[in-house]
């Protein structure tokens, strides 16, 4: 076992089984702090790395909303979990074409990724969490594949009630098992049903929504998961572009779970912002001009036409990222309606 696995094992041996959320939080904290997981040489590829079109359309969306809001001053571009800074660089280029050149704020804790981001956007300002974001103007927030990596709690329906799933040690290996009795979630379900919640996601989205309601601005959330809350075990691990066992080598593979967009919308709406969507990523990108942008890029670089067409399909195709990923926006009540969600 690696260092993080040893640490988790010692913790379990000393204090007993830990929650799935605690296991996921420690594993992912180590994972992201110690590597650049993106790209063909890493464990997975995100939309900004597939094509510049993704970030450019997000930047155009922000520029349009800002312009229709009256082009307010003292705005700030914020990205949660900005990866290599690819999305930000592409979005900022598109924003600049609309006359918007805001300061850049990254919410990022990984020292490895901060170094990569600084090489691309050296003037950015870094934050450990969203609590220290500026309070002097509207916030233009983007969160692409951020919420899926936050730790989830899992409850399982057993014959004697709902129990929290915990991670224990068995013959030196991590295994998941039913733990303490917990209060029942709403509704009824047959034994074996698993319900996931993400308290961290609800807390973060509520905090961002309060800021947007008070300061103005917007947040665009792009992630994978269903439109409506449901049941089921969605926790998964990815390593070397393939699915892996989440209970083996914690901290050496990416752990994610489906984002509950309905729960995020409810938490944000309670803070006074308007919620637009969610809509599938494919629908939203096409509404924002993906096909026009792809044709323009292909005309300017005919030798890359096939590559550009393949990227377009990967971003928006229903069997690729187009249907699985969703897009949702939070908008200040004093700002106009967001484009792309009709």
Chain segment 198-237, per-residue pLDDT in tens: 999 999 999 999 999 999 999 999 999 999 999 999 999 9
Q: How far apart are CA 290 and CA 288, in angstroms?
A: 6
> What is the β-pairing status of strands 194-197 and 153-158?
antiparallel
* Edge-first strand listing for the sheet containing 254-256: 242-244, 236-239, 254-256
Contact between 164 and 155 under an 8 Å Cβ cutoff? The reply is: yes
Provide the mean pLDDT of the chain: 96
Q: Which two tokens stand for residue 270?
A: 């309670």
The mean pLDDT of 323-335, rounded to a whole number, is 98
Q: What would the pLDDT profile of 139-190 be if each residue is shown by its tens digit? A: 999 999 999 999 999 999 999 999 999 999 999 999 999 999 999 998 889 9
Q: What would the pLDDT profile of 235-274 be if each residue is shown by its tens digit? A: 999 998 899 999 999 999 999 999 999 999 999 999 999 9
The mean pLDDT of 22-42, rounded to a whole number, is 92
Asked if pLDDT for residue 78 goes beyond 70, the answer is yes
Q: Would you state the pLDDT for residue 2?
A: 56
Q: Would you state the pLDDT for residue 39?
A: 81
Q: Please give the radius of gyration of the chain, using alpha carbons only, rounded to the nearest integer.
A: 21
Q: Would you state the pLDDT for residue 1?
A: 45
How confident is residue 342, by pLDDT bands cut at 50, 70 and 90?
confident
Asked if pLDDT for residue 8 goes beyond 50, the answer is yes
How confident is residue 67, by pLDDT bands cut at 50, 70 and 90?
very high
Domain boundaries defined on the chain:
35-151+199-225+260-331
Percent of all residues in the chain with a pLDDT value above 70, rounded to a whole number: 99
Contact between 237 and 246 under an 8 Å Cβ cutoff? The reply is: yes
Domain 35-151+199-225+260-331 has CATH 3.20.20.10: no
Helix axes 86-97, 52-68, angle to 10 degrees: 40
Q: What would the pLDDT profile of 116-139 be if each residue is shown by its tens digit? A: 999 999 999 999 999 999 999 999
Q: How far apart are CA 339 and CA 193, in angstroms?
A: 38
């Amino acid at each position: 076992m690696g260092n993080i696995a040893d640490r988790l094992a010692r913790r379990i041996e000393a204090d007993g089984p830990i929650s799935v959320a605690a296991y996921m939080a420690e594993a992912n904290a180590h994972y992201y702090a110690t590597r650049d997981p993106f790209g063909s040489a890493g464990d997975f590829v995100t939309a900004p790395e597939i094509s510049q079109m993704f970030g450019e359309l997000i930047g155009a969306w922000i520029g349009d909303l800002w312009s229709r809001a009256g082009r307010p001053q003292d705005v700030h571009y914020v990205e949660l979990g900005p990866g290599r800074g690819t999305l930000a660089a592409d979005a900022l280029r598109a924003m600049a074409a609309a006359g918007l050149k805001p300061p850049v704020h990254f919410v990022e804790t990984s020292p490895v990724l901060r170094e990569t981001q600084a090489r691309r956007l050296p003037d950015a300002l870094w934050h450990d969490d969203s609590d220290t974001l500026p309070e002097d103007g509207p916030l233009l927030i983007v969160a692409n594949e951020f919420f899926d990596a936050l730790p989830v709690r899992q409850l399982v329906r057993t014959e004697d009630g709902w129990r929290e799933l915990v991670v224990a040690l068995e013959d030196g290996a991590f295994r998941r098992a039913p733990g303490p009795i917990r209060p029942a979630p709403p509704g009824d379900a047959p034994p074996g049903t698993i319900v996931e919640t993400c308290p961290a996601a609800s807390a973060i989205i509520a905090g961002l929504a309060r800021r947007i309601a008070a300061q103005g601005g917007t947040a665009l959330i792009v992630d994978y998961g269903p439109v409506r809350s449901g049941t089921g075990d969605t926790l998964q691990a990815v390593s070397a572009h393939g699915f892996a066992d989440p209970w083996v080598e914690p901290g050496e593979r990416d752990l994610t779970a489906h984002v509950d967009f309905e729960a995020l919308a409810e938490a944000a709406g309670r803070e006074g912002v308007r919620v637009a969507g969610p809509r599938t990523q494919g629908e939203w990108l096409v509404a924002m001009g993906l096909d026009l942008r792809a044709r323009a890029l292909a005309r300017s670089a005919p030798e890359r036409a096939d590559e550009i067409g393949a990227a377009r399909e990967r971003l928006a195709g229903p069997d690729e990222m187009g249907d699985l990923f969703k897009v949702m926006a939070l908008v200040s009540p004093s700002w106009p309606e967001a484009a792309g969600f009709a």
